[in-house]
A and B are shown apart, each in its own frame.
Chain A
Amino acid sequence: MPRKPIDIPCRVDHLSILSEDGEVDREMEPELSEELLLRMYRTMLLCRRFDERMLTLQRQGRIGTFAPIKGQEAQIGAVVPLEPEDWIAPSFREMPAEVWRGKSLESVLLTYAGYNEGGKIPEGLNNLPIAIPVGSQILHAVGIAYGMKYRRKRHVAMAFFGDGGTSEGDFHEALNFAGVFQVPAVFVCQNNQWAISVPRSRQTRSRTLAQKAVAYEIPGVQVDGNDILAVYVAVKEAVERARAGEGPTFIENVTYRMSVHTTADDPKKYRRDEEVEPWIARDPITRFEKYLLKKGLLTDQKVASVDEEVTREVREAEQRWALQVEEGIDPMGMFDHAYEDLPPHILVQRDELRRELEEKSSQRG
């Protein structure tokens, strides 16, 4: 009985289409309509401007803690191939993907300003609410994908999570379930190199995150996650495979967290500014902009006007949000949506609060 190597297929590709200065690999370049390309660009910029504005609002104390997305806008490429019937299960750093999928900027502001109402999902949008417990939402996408397969639908479920998320048991369970049941799921790992203060190299000894898929016999691919075309192409392939009944795919988007982990974090404690600098040149928006300029789809003038437009859109959303905030909220709303029917003991508690608030307002008035 000699010792022999087992032939395990473990090819892991790295995919990149746009260079840092916007040069495109002609063979890999996806065929996308002018309109779609411009919409992708516009949404990236909208989310960048919105993110910047939220940081200001947070510093002014008008909203609470949130996780900035700066530098990770190319994630939009992952949701471009999706249809409304497809589902997404985001973590807390997927604002751009959610906005592409129809989430309003006001609802984002409402959530971070501490209103339960921000969680409301518009009818017809198959976007799960953000999941803050790291790694926990990935299994939900796998279950949803099983449901799609069960109902013989050609839909897909997509889960987003970070590099840190790949350390949680739930991540491995999700990949394993997906492999075993061959469901139409797409796993999108936003490897932004950091999990708060823990660098990617200390999160796992693996050379790539994509290779983790190999253990579950799932195709895994590493993608330049700041290249929206590469993200799009990788996900499109995965989505097509899923729709064709060929099972799940794991995609590692290599990107970078340009900003703080959350507004409660101080990166000076654990990373040097010099580390951030090279990533400025790899900015997903300027890179895509260069490509579109070269392609003749954008001009400097148009860039400026898109910027103006999205800045206005952010301002208008903020105004609508501010109006809602001015109207005030009823504290009693905290009891909404606890159950379909509130059980009697909670009705009693709700009355306690109502009486307390009435007494308080009659004392004031």
Chain B
Amino acid sequence: MAKMTMVQALNMALAQEMEKDDRVVVLGEDVGVDGGVFRVTDGLIDRFGGERVMDTPLAESGIAGFSIGLALYGLRPVCEMQFSGFSYYAMHQMEAHAARLRWRSQGRFHVPMVLRCPYGGGVRALEHHSESREAYWAHTPGLKMVIPSGPRNARALLVSAIRDPDPVVFYEPKAVYRAFREEVPEEEEVFPIGRSQLVRGGKDVTLISYGATLRPTLEAAQTLHDRYGIEAEVIDLLTISPLDDELFSGSVRKTGRAVVVHEAPRSFGPGAEVVSRLVEKAFLYLEAPVKRVTGFDIVIPLYQREQEYLPHADRIMKAVRETLDF
């Protein structure tokens, strides 16, 4: 097994799927010769040629709509939005068509495409390069919305997304892209879409997160253990929609307390859905109100202030202790 960054792991997933299946094609702005602005598609054009790795004109609606056509014809497009902040041009195609063609054609057509987008803050970027708007996609019936948190699950989830018969929006936490390395097996590994994962066991409180905020959540869990002997269970959602509510509601039935962490704005964010599911599935087990540690309901500030905007371990620990002291 090689130790890889998330960028390398995603690159491997793409290369291996392209190797195995000639229906898989990659397209987007600067994904070919340049290898993608984050280098996720690096080297693919040399290996698979320009016909399968397309540098497209600068048009997100075009990329998405064209991908829908490719998918309708039986190919497996993996298209890249250079940053999630520019994917809204593609939203109409995704909402109006990718998400509905199976339904509209009463099963005759389907759209097995992947829309990859780097998302999230923490990299000192310009405006529109730091947002976390997964809720838009998760709110769209007909789409799946996946967000890995590390190199290994990113690779396994991207393979599943490419093979999925329905459209998948795949958000990649750019703050994690090169932040750390993990062992990623060379042989095939898939992780099912629609399943979350227990990443740390504990009995006192359940912490639920995903994507880039998983790491501060784990850091908080570790410090709570070291400093206060508090044992937090941590669940990584991995798929935002369809949401796996079994694992976290089972956990909360055990711990009685929960804190949800994400960098997306709070109101109508994924955390709101998690809390609703808890109310539906674990209401009688709750010992305290469920807390949300999230981005604020404002545009994420330019980078001088983004560390105060983004959830961090101290903020998560404070929320946990308030939950326990309730």
Partner-B contacts on A (CB < 8 A): 64-66, 92, 111-116, 118, 132-135, 164-165, 167-170, 195-198, 202-204, 264-265, 269-270, 329, 331, 333-335, 338, 345-346, 349-350, 353, 356-357, 360
Between A and B, 19 residue pairs with Cβ closer than 8 Å are A65-B126, A113-B304, A114-B124, A114-B304, A118-B302, A132-B85, A133-B85, A134-B86, A164-B57, A168-B61, A197-B30, A202-B55, A269-B33, A269-B34, A333-B305, A334-B298, A338-B299, A345-B297, A356-B314
How far does the alpha carbon of A64 sit from the alpha carbon of B304 in the complex, in Å?
10
Interchain CB contact (< 8 A) of B126 among A64, A135, A165, A195: A64
Is the Cβ of A197 less than 8 Å from the Cβ of B55?
A: yes
Residue among B58, B59, B129, B299 with max Cβ neighbours from chain A (10 Å): B58
* CB neighbours of B124 from chain A (8 A): 64-65, 114
Is the Cβ of B315 less than 8 Å from the Cβ of A165?
A: no
* CB neighbours of A265 from chain B (8 A): 37
Residue-wise, chain B 122-141 has the 8 Å CB interface mask toward A (1 for contact) of 00111111000000000000
Does B308 sit within 8 A of A, measured CB to CB? yes
In the complex, how many angstroms separate the beta carbon of A300 from the nearest chain B beta carbon? 40
Interchain CB contact (< 8 A) of B57 among A65, A204, A331, A333: A204
How far does the alpha carbon of A307 sit from the alpha carbon of B302 in the complex, in Å?
33
A-B CB pair tally, cutoff 8 Å? 115
How far does the alpha carbon of A329 sit from the alpha carbon of B126 in the complex, in Å?
18
* CB neighbours of B266 from chain A (8 A): 349
Is the Cβ of B55 less than 8 Å from the Cβ of A198?
A: yes
* CB neighbours of A170 from chain B (8 A): 89
* CB neighbours of B304 from chain A (8 A): 113-115, 329
Determine the residue in chain A with the shortest Cβ distance to B128.
A132
Interchain CB contact (< 8 A) of A349 among B57, B296, B299: B296
Is the Cβ of B58 less than 8 Å from the Cβ of A164?
A: yes
Is the Cβ of B33 less than 8 Å from the Cβ of A353?
A: no
Does B16 sit within 8 A of A, measured CB to CB? no
* CB neighbours of A202 from chain B (8 A): 55, 57
* CB neighbours of B305 from chain A (8 A): 114, 116, 329, 331, 333-334
How far does the alpha carbon of A226 sit from the alpha carbon of B318 in the complex, in Å?
58
How far does the alpha carbon of A331 sit from the alpha carbon of B305 in the complex, in Å?
6
* CB neighbours of B126 from chain A (8 A): 64-66, 92, 112, 132
Does B35 sit within 8 A of A, measured CB to CB? yes
In the complex, how many angstroms separate the beta carbon of A247 from the nearest chain B beta carbon? 26
Determine the residue in chain A with the shortest Cβ distance to B35.
A269
* CB neighbours of B86 from chain A (8 A): 133-134
Determine the residue in chain B with the shortest Cβ distance to A130.
B127
* CB neighbours of A349 from chain B (8 A): 266, 296-298
Is the Cβ of B298 less than 8 Å from the Cβ of A346?
A: yes
How far does the alpha carbon of A202 sit from the alpha carbon of B318 in the complex, in Å?
53
Is the Cβ of B30 less than 8 Å from the Cβ of A132?
A: no
Is the Cβ of B267 less than 8 Å from the Cβ of A345?
A: yes
In the complex, how many angstroms separate the beta carbon of B269 from the nearest chain A beta carbon? 12
Residue-wise, chain B 85-106 has the 8 Å CB interface mask toward A (1 for contact) of 1100100000000000000000
Is the Cβ of A334 less than 8 Å from the Cβ of B58?
A: no
Given contacts A114-B304, A203-B57, A331-B305, A196 and B267 within 8 Å (CB-CB) = no
Does B48 sit within 8 A of A, measured CB to CB? no
In the complex, how many angstroms separate the beta carbon of B31 from the nearest chain A beta carbon? 9
* CB neighbours of A118 from chain B (8 A): 302
Does B62 sit within 8 A of A, measured CB to CB? yes
How far does the alpha carbon of A125 sit from the alpha carbon of B67 in the complex, in Å?
43
Is the Cβ of A264 less than 8 Å from the Cβ of B303?
A: no
Does B301 sit within 8 A of A, measured CB to CB? yes
* CB neighbours of B35 from chain A (8 A): 269
How far does the alpha carbon of A190 sit from the alpha carbon of B1 in the complex, in Å?
48
Interchain CB contact (< 8 A) of A196 among B30, B57, B308: B30
Does B29 sit within 8 A of A, measured CB to CB? yes
How far does the alpha carbon of A150 sit from the alpha carbon of B302 in the complex, in Å?
36
* CB neighbours of B177 from chain A (8 A): none
* CB neighbours of B128 from chain A (8 A): 132-133
How far does the alpha carbon of A270 sit from the alpha carbon of B297 in the complex, in Å?
40
Given contacts A111-B302, A114-B304, A345-B267, A168 and B37 within 8 Å (CB-CB) = no
In the complex, how many angstroms separate the beta carbon of A268 from the nearest chain B beta carbon? 10
Is the Cβ of A356 less than 8 Å from the Cβ of B315?
A: yes
How far does the alpha carbon of A203 sit from the alpha carbon of B30 in the complex, in Å?
11
In the complex, how many angstroms separate the beta carbon of B311 from the nearest chain A beta carbon? 11
Determine the residue in chain A with the shortest Cβ distance to B312.
A356
How far does the alpha carbon of A270 sit from the alpha carbon of B296 in the complex, in Å?
40
Does B171 sit within 8 A of A, measured CB to CB? no
Does B309 sit within 8 A of A, measured CB to CB? yes
Closest 3 CB pairs of A and B: A114-B303, A197-B34, A167-B57
Given contacts A114-B124, A114-B303, A167-B59, A335 and B30 within 8 Å (CB-CB) = no
How far does the alpha carbon of A357 sit from the alpha carbon of B61 in the complex, in Å?
42
Is the Cβ of A196 less than 8 Å from the Cβ of B37?
A: yes
Is the Cβ of B308 less than 8 Å from the Cβ of A357?
A: yes
Interface residues of B in 270-318 (CB under 8 A from A): 296-299, 301-306, 308-309, 314-315, 318
* CB neighbours of B60 from chain A (8 A): 168
In the complex, how many angstroms separate the beta carbon of A33 from the nearest chain B beta carbon? 38
* CB neighbours of B89 from chain A (8 A): 133, 168-170
Determine the residue in chain A with the shortest Cβ distance to B304.
A114
Q: A115-B302, A170-B89, A195-B29 are in contact. List 7 more A-B contacts (CB 8 A).
A: A65-B126, A116-B305, A197-B55, A264-B37, A335-B296, A338-B298, A349-B296
How far does the alpha carbon of A348 sit from the alpha carbon of B11 in the complex, in Å?
43
In the complex, how many angstroms separate the beta carbon of B62 from the nearest chain A beta carbon? 7
Determine the residue in chain A with the shortest Cβ distance to B309.
A334
* CB neighbours of B37 from chain A (8 A): 196, 264-265
In the complex, how many angstroms separate the beta carbon of B118 from the nearest chain A beta carbon? 12
